[in-house]
């Protein structure tokens, strides 16, 4: 039986990576990801694992190193957030198009300007069309579990795609939480060695990342989209196997008291845990409220979301990012597009909240839910910015 | 016209045949063709050195010609040829 320990979540993330038999890590430190970068470098430097830790001069270089390493068949890891992720952006569609199973932790932080090092989702949202699998974590145990699952999903021969694990900056990364690690031999059983589809090797020359013109390019984009959409089958399979081996259950869309609810809050990331007591309070006050948490952001869990909102009168989508010039937040836009073709779809409203690390309390969630119940039309608003 | 359906694309767009880029004749892009005037040519080879496509070759007689299967007609050879032995002539 695994022992329960109190550990800072960023440290736990690095420890989990250390259990994945990685070959190469190339990480450039950036707040609030730094403790992952630092602790993983200690794990390597102390000889606890046999891996190369490559110190690089930027996040762009970090991802470039991972691409090269992964192309040779190595298991490669990186982590970043915010401006670092924006600098990496150029490389992200390359990784997914080359079908390289790199795993990256993102310690979600706002993007400049103004400079802000706290927490929201405005760094990950611009990456959502890059072809990566993106999974949100809610607490420290999920960070460990999702990290250990990530290579298993990424390297599956039916997937071969990179995976991002989102960990809310500070609120998760710097929190000391009770967590438990599985035994190394159990992890080894769950996560076998990588069997690459193709590798760069002088004895067997081949070309990766070649040029393509209009005769092949569209088919390549279709093949990439199919790969990402189809990856959900494997993600579900891996989560089932995880549950069987370790007992903890993971679903693309999680619900809390959603059954029979009149109003549902929809949320991603660590704030799900704050919203739960708000739902309890609302239920005590006689408001039939419930909660939906989207864990799997890409590929988007269409069927699971449709099922979760069936029969609900009002759906309040919580966004921690803005899609400037669009009709609200990026999660709102996706959710609306999923529900557009549904008969009797819920009235869907959008709160943009928690930007720049702004605390959202239980009371705030109660307020938003009560506001949503009274909503007459669809639309978005910034919560807590004044009239 | 599609050369292959999306189902035939190899995972990661990996090209398993080394050197297959030579089957792609970039000469089809060409609008202007380099033509050498051997009377002016001093066989210095600057066209050979500057050709970004690597398609200019020295013939047995010491004069230079472009492999028109690959020459894109960029005109760098003509621009760099200081004796003025290369002219760019319109195709077609």
DSSP A12: H
Q: What is the DSSP string of A266-307?
A: EE-STTHHHHHHHHHHHHHTT--EEEEEE-EEES--HHHHHH
pLDDT band (50, 70, 90) for residue B82: very high
Tens of pLDDT, residues A334-353: 999 999 999 999 999 999 99
CATH number, domain with residue B46: 3.30.70.20
pLDDT in the model for residue A296: 98
**Torsion on CA atoms B18, B23, B29, B33, rounded to nearest 10:** 110
State the SS3 of chain A.
CCCEEEEEHHHHHHHHHHCCCCCEEECCCCCCCHHHHHHHHHHHHCCCCCCEEECCCCHHHHHHHHHHHHHCCCCEEEEECHHHHHHHHHHHHHHHHCCCCCEEEEEECCCCCCCCCCCCCCCCHHHCCCCCEEEECCCHHHHHHHHHHHHHHHHCCCCCCCEEEEEECCCCCCCEEEEECCCHHHHHHHCCCCCCCCCCCCCCCCECCCCCCCCCHHHHHHHHHHHHHHHHHHHHHHHHHHHHHHCCCCCCEEEECCCCCCEEEEECCCCHHHHHHHHHHHHHCCCCEEEEEECEEECCCHHHHHHHHCCCCEEEEEECCCCCCCCCCHHHHHHHHHHCCCCCCCEEEEEECCHHHCCCCHHHHHHHHHHHHHCCCCEEEECCCCC
Is the pLDDT at B21 greater than 90? The verdict is no
Write out the two tokens for A140.
């420290």
The percent of residues above 90 in pLDDT, for chain A, comes to 98
Q: What is the mean pLDDT of residues A351-359?
A: 97
Contact B13 A212 (CB under 8 A): yes
**CB contact at 8 A, A83 and A58:** no
- CB contact under 8 Å between B11 and A99, yes or no, is yes
pLDDT digits (tens, 9 = 90+) for A114-143: 999 999 999 999 999 999 999 999 999 999
Query: Whole-angstrom Cα distance, residue A59 to residue A66?
Result: 11
Confidence of residue A308 (pLDDT cuts 50, 70, 90): very high
Q: Do A197 and B7 touch (CB under 8 A)?
A: no
Interchain CB distance below 8 Å, B9 and A215: no
Cβ neighbours of A36 (radius 10 Å): 32
Mean pLDDT along residues B5-25: 92
Interface of B with A (CB under 8 A): 1-9, 11-18, 20-21
Q: Is residue B27 part of a domain?
A: no
The answer to whether residue B47 is domain-embedded is yes
SS3 category, A135: strand
Query: Which positions ≥6 away from A101 have C-beta within 8 Å?
Result: A70, A75, A151, A154, A155, A159, A160, A161, A162, A163, A194
Residues A348, A82: Cα–Cα separation, whole Å:
29
Residues A38, A88 contacting (CB under 8 angstroms): no
Give domain status of residue B23, yes or no: no
Question: Does a structural domain hold residue B78?
Answer: yes
> Are A219 and B2 a contacting pair at CB < 8 A?
yes
CB contact under 8 A, B7 and A160: no
SS3 A83: helix
Q: For residue B53, is it within any domain?
A: yes
Domain count, chain B: 1
pLDDT surpasses 80 at B1: no
Q: Helices A272-284 and A362-374 sit at what angle, rounded to 10 degrees?
A: 60
Which chain A residue's Cα is nearest to B9? A220
The DSSP element (H or E) to which A38 belongs, if any, is helix A34-45
Closest CA to A131 of A251, A221, A33, A26: A221
The token pair at A274 is: 């704050």
Q: CA–CA separation, A292 vs A335, rounded Å?
A: 12
Tell me which chain B residues have a C-beta less than 8 angstroms from the C-beta of A227: 11
> Residue A218: its chain B contacts at CB < 8 A?
2, 6
pLDDT > 70? residue A1: no
pLDDT (mean) for A183-211: 95
What CA–CA distance (Å, rounded) separates A104 from A120? 18
A220·B7 Cβ contact <8 A: no
Interface test mutation site (partner B, options A216, A218, A221, max chain B beta carbons within 10 A):
A216
Q: How high is the pLDDT of residue B71?
A: 98
pLDDT at residue A269 is higher than 70: yes
- Partners of B11 on chain A (C-beta within 8 Å) are 99, 160, 197-198, 223, 227
Q: Which residues contact A188 (CB under 8 A, 6 or more apart)?
A: A21
Q: What is the pLDDT of residue B92?
A: 80
Res A158 pLDDT > 90: yes
Residue B49 belongs to some domain of the structure = yes
Find how far residue A78's CA is from the centre of its chain.
Answer: 14
* Sign of the alpha-carbon torsion through A170, A228, A353, A256: negative
pLDDT at position B19: 85
Which positions in chain A touch B17 (Cβ < 8 Å)?
206
Compute the distance between CA of residue A148 and CA of residue A17 in angstroms, rounded to an integer. Answer: 7
When the pLDDT of each residue in chain A is averaged and rounded to a whole number, the result is 97
Tell me which chain A residues have a C-beta less than 8 angstroms from the C-beta of B18: 205-207
pLDDT of the residue at A33: 98
Residue A59's CB is within 10 A of a number of other CB atoms, namely 27
| pLDDT one-digit tens code per residue, A169-191 | 999 999 999 999 999 999 999 99
Range of the domain at B81: 39-92
The predicted model gives A260-266 an average pLDDT of: 97
Q: What is the mean pLDDT of residues A198-226?
A: 94
**Residue A214: CB atoms within 10 Å:** 7
Q: What are phi and psi for residue A95, nearest 5 degrees?
A: -60, -45
What contacts A325, CB < 8 A, 6 or more positions away? none
Residue B58 within a domain: yes
pLDDT tens per residue, range A29-87 = 999 999 999 999 999 999 999 999 999 999 999 999 999 999 999 999 999 999 999 99
The mean pLDDT value for A200-209 works out to 93
As given in the structure block, the two tokens for residue A150 are 């990530």
Share of chain A above pLDDT 70, in %: 100
**Averaged pLDDT of chain B:** 94
> How many Å lie between the alpha carbon of B24 and the closest alpha carbon of chain A?
11
Instruction: Determine whether the interchain pair A219/B14 forms a contact, defined as Cβ–Cβ distance below 8 Å.
Output: no
Query: pLDDT tier at B2 (50, 70, 90 boundaries)?
Result: low
Q: Considering the entire predicted model, what is its pTM?
A: 0.94
Q: Provide φ and ψ at B46, rounded to 5°.
A: -65, -30
On the question of pLDDT at A2 being above 80, the answer is no
ipTM for this model: 0.86
Q: Please indicate, yes or no, if residue B26 is contained in any of the structural domains.
A: no
Chains A, B: CB contacts within 8 A come to: 63
Residues A328-333 have a mean pLDDT of: 97
Other beta carbons less than 10 A from residue A160's beta carbon:
21
Domains of chain A: residue spans and CATH: 4-246 (3.40.50.970), 253-382 (3.40.50.920)
Q: Is A2 strand, coil or helix?
A: coil
């Amino acid at each position: 039986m695994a022992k329960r320990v109190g550990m800072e979540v960023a440290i736990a993330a690095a420890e989990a990576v250390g259990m994945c038999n990685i070959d190469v890590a190339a990480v450039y430190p950036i707040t609030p990801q730094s403790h992952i970068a630092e602790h993983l470098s200690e794990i390597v430097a102390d000889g606890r694992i046999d891996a190369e830790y490559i110190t690089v001069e930027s996040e762009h270089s970090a991802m470039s190193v991972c691409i090269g390493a992964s192309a040779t068949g190595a298991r490669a890891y990186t982590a970043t957030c915010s401006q670092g992720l924006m600098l990496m952006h150029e490389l992200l569609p390359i990784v997914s198009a080359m079908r390289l199973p790199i795993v990256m932790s993102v310690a979600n932080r706002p993007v400049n300007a103004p400079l802000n090092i706290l927490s929201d989702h405005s760094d990950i949202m611009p990456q959502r069309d890059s072809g990566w699998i993106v999974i949100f974590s809610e607490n420290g145990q999920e960070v460990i579990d999702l990290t250990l699952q990530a290579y298993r999903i990424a390297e599956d021969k039916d997937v071969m795609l990179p995976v991002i694990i989102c960990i809310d900056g500070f609120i998760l990364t710097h929190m000391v939480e009770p967590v438990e690690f599985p035994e190394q031999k159990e992890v080894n059983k769950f996560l076998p060695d990588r069997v690459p589809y193709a590798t760069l090797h002088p004895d067997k020359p081949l070309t990766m990342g070649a040029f393509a013109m209009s005769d092949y390019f569209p088919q390549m984009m279709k093949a990439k989209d199919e790969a990402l959409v189809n990856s959900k089958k494997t993600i579900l399979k891996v989560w089932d196997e995880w549950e069987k081996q370790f007992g903890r259950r993971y679903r693309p869309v999680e619900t809390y008291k959603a059954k029979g609810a009149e109003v549902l809050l929809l949320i991603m990331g660590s704030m799900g845990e704050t919203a739960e007591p708000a739902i309890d309070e609302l239920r005590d006050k006689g408001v039939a409220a419930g909660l939906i948490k989207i864990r799997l952001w890409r590929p988007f869990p269409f069927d699971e979301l449709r099922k979760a909102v069936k029969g609900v009168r009002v759906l309040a989508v919580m966004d921690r990012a803005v899609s400037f010039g669009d009709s609200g937040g990026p999660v709102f836009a996706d959710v609306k597009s999923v529900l557009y073709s549904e008969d009797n779809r819920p009235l869907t409203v959008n709160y943009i909240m928690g930007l720049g690390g702004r605390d959202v309390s239980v009371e705030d969630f109660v307020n938003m839910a009560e506001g949503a119940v009274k909503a007459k039309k669809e639309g978005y608003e910034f919560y807590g910015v004044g009239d | 016209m599609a050369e292959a359906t999306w189902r035939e694309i190899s995972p990661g767009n990996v090209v398993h045949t080394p050197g297959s880029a030579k089957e792609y004749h970039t000469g089809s892009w060409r609008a202007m063709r380099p033509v050498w005037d051997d009377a002016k040519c001093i066989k210095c080879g600057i066209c050979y050195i500057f050709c970004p496509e690597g398609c200019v070759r020295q013939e047995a007689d010491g004069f230079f010609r472009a492999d028109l299967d690959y020459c894109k007609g960029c005109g760098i050879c003509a621009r760099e040829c200081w004796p003025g032995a290369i002219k760019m002539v319109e195709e077609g």
